[in-house]
Copies of this chain bind each other. A is one copy, B any other.
Amino acid sequence: MRSWQSSVNRLIPTPLLLIDVVNMNTTAFIQMLRQCVGEAHVLTDGDLSSYEQDWRKRTRGKALAVVRPGSTQEVANVVKACVQAGVSIVPQGGNTGLVVGSIPDDSGKQVLLSLQRMHAVRAIDTDNLTLTVEAGCILQNVQQAAEQAGFLFPLSLGSEGSCTIGGNLSTNAGGTQVVRYGNARELCLGLEVVTAQGDIWNGLSGLRKDNTGYDLRNLMIGSEGTLGIITAATVKLFPMPAAKLTAWAAVPSVEHAVQLLGLAHQHLGAGLTGFEMMGQFALSLVDKHYPQLRTPLWRDTPYCVLLENSDAESENHARERFEHVLEKALEMGCVTDAVVAENLSQARNLWHIRESITLAQAEEGLNIKHDISLPVSAIPQFVEETNALLAQHIDGVRLVNFGHLGDGNLHYNVQAPEGGDNATFLREQEDRVNALVYDSVKKFGGSISAEHGVGSLKVDTLPDYKDPAALALMRSIKQAVDPHNILNPGRVIRLH
């Protein structure tokens, strides 16, 4: 076996000296990893379930070792060691992903590389409106670091107390503020990445314009650790809004929700920072399982919409603008009733209702989840046709339809008929329901993964729905950038 310090040919595939780590040289390899990151940070025994079990508890893998580097150079050294040994690496942040992309497979031959120890905020530059942070920093801590400096870092999602910014970027996370601020991708200006060769690319730029070559930043973002390991990022800060108001409106149909979205864009401009649509059945589950939340307006309307208006001026101004939009919407008939939160606590409660849909579904029993996106204009017809299609195939099927309508992103989930056994329903219907929903998504020009990614959950479904020329390009890029298939193999795109 060659020493891991020896130079690795950059980007040119060379035959590897593969070692059979399980039988022969495991001890020597583990010893190498210990040299890279220190004895205490290579875990092989004890309860490793937080690293090996996926967030939704769908799958449990088995790692050869969990390695927890404390610096970018240590990450690079670990990668070089793995390249030499022919051992593949699964990078992991907070392990909150929903597509089984950040746990090892069950071979016991992969290294789980956790970025959790790299959680420093390296720099805040308020004149440049940027913050530089290490990959393992928990999203909520990034938000707080921004807030303490008087600024907003707008990425916000359910798991923000556990997920890491590195994971957010690797999966191009979405969340609730995308309608104004974009996905994780749009919030990032620069990256530091360890390549599949163990080189360090220092692309930690705080530049808003840089046309010196290919967009490697965006190639790495959303590649789910298959093209490089993100170790740090420079992200955008925004001025903190002077006021943020939340409203809740009953709308008579999906078409009317789309109409309301147009009105809100027109009259609030960039003030529109949230636009969530929720179907009646989804809200009935919240009301059933969390009656104390007092979900408003849902009983007499098929859909409700939550709107958020962030204002650079004042709360009075925000309220006046909101009332202006809602009055117009009432006049036009695209809203039948509405409330505006009077204070922060009411606003939080409205968001809390929206965010409780996921838990309320779980209380009701497992269902078949879809994270899809469509052109906003196609959503009314998509919902109508797909609802009818599912009802036709499954008697009494129940649809938990909600999502970020402002971004065309629906969580279009399919629940077993009332009184049915959820586990049986899932086992018997999941493939068929997925095919029905995804075929319909394809017909309307949509995506089968809006914000959750591909991971291993959708890697074998993707080829049926993605343009073949795009798949060929993806494959050739993966082969070129990671010629030994060391980084998170079998996720996003298969090579064979």
Q: Please give the residue numbers on chain A whose beta carbons come within 8 Å of chain B beta carbons, in ascending order.
A: 10-11, 125-130, 171-172, 174, 178, 180, 182-183, 185-186, 193, 195, 199-203, 205-216, 218-219, 221-223, 227, 239, 241, 258, 261-262, 265-271, 310-313, 321, 373-378, 404, 407-409, 445-454, 458, 462, 465-467, 469-481, 492-493
Give the complex CA separation of A349 and B262 in angstroms. 33
Q: How many copies make up the complex?
A: 2
Contact, CB under 8 Å: A454 / B212: yes
Given contacts A269-B310, A269-B312, A477-B477, 8 further A-B contacts (CB under 8 A): A127-B261, A180-B270, A195-B472, A201-B470, A209-B408, A209-B409, A213-B466, A269-B270
CB-defined contacts of A11 to chain B, threshold 8 Å: 472-473, 475-476
Contact, CB under 8 Å: A186 / B186: yes
Contact, CB under 8 Å: A211 / B451: yes
Rounded to whole Å, the gap between the CB of A82 and the closest CB of chain B is: 18
CB-defined contacts of A312 to chain B, threshold 8 Å: 266-271
Give the complex CA separation of A209 and B176 in angstroms. 12
Contact, CB under 8 Å: B481 / A127: no
Residue from B129, B227, B271 within 8 A of A376 (CB atoms): B129
Residue from B202, B208, B223, B269 within 8 A of A407 (CB atoms): B208
Contact, CB under 8 Å: A262 / B209: no
Task: Evaluate whether A206 and B448 lie within 8 angstroms (CB atoms) in the complex, with A219-B214, A476-B480, A492-B213 already known.
Answer: no
Give the complex CA separation of A222 and B209 in angstroms. 11
Some 26 contacts from A to B, beta carbons below 8 A apart, are A11-B475, A125-B375, A126-B262, A127-B376, A129-B265, A171-B211, A174-B209, A195-B472, A199-B469, A200-B469, A202-B467, A206-B377, A208-B409, A209-B373, A209-B404, A211-B447, A211-B451, A212-B466, A213-B222, A213-B454, A213-B466, A213-B471, A214-B219, A215-B215, A239-B266, A477-B480
